[in-house]
């Protein structure tokens, strides 16, 4: 199966840290999604959830991932990264077709 998104090494480390330290239930997966609306366009979502019938499920480096089928076209090729700076920290979404970063 073609993996629709890429997760950087920094983001993988942070996701695994969250799973290990925040009591994420074993039957939950990482949900990646989008929320539309507003003049800012799409917002990208990241969280943990149980699988639903409308989800595409895959695994990336041992992390089970869920994406709603209707969100696939907005996430295809997207890279999830993690930024840990002195002023801010958090996950970012980078679309290789658009040279701008989208923070979560």
- pLDDT of res. 95: 79
All structural domains of the chain with their residue ranges: 6-96
Going residue by residue through the chain (104 aa), what tens digit of pLDDT does each one get? 678 899 999 999 999 999 999 999 999 999 999 987 666 677 899 999 999 999 999 999 999 999 999 999 889 999 999 999 888 899 999 877 665 555 55
For domain 6-96, which CATH number applies: 1.10.3210.10, 3.40.50.10860, 2.60.300.12, 3.90.1150.10? 2.60.300.12
Q: What is the pTM of this model?
A: 0.84
User: 3-state DSSP call for residue 74?
Assistant: helix
- Sort strands 6-7 and 101-103 into parallel, antiparallel or unpaired: unpaired
Q: Which residues pair with 30 in a beta bridge?
A: 48, 65
Encoded tokens for 12:
């993988």
- pLDDT of res. 96: 74
């Amino acid at each position: 199966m073609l993996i629709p998104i890429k997760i950087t090494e920094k983001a993988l480390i942070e996701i695994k840290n969250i799973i290990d330290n925040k009591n994420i239930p074993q039957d939950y997966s990482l949900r990646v999604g989008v929320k539309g609306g507003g003049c800012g366009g799409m917002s990208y979502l990241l969280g943990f959830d149980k699988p639903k019938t409308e989800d595409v499920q895959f695994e990336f480096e041992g992390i089970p991932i869920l994406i709603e089928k209707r969100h696939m076209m907005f996430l295809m090729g997207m890279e999830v990264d993690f930024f840990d700076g002195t002023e801010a920290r958090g996950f970012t979404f980078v679309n290789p077709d658009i040279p701008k970063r989208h923070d979560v």
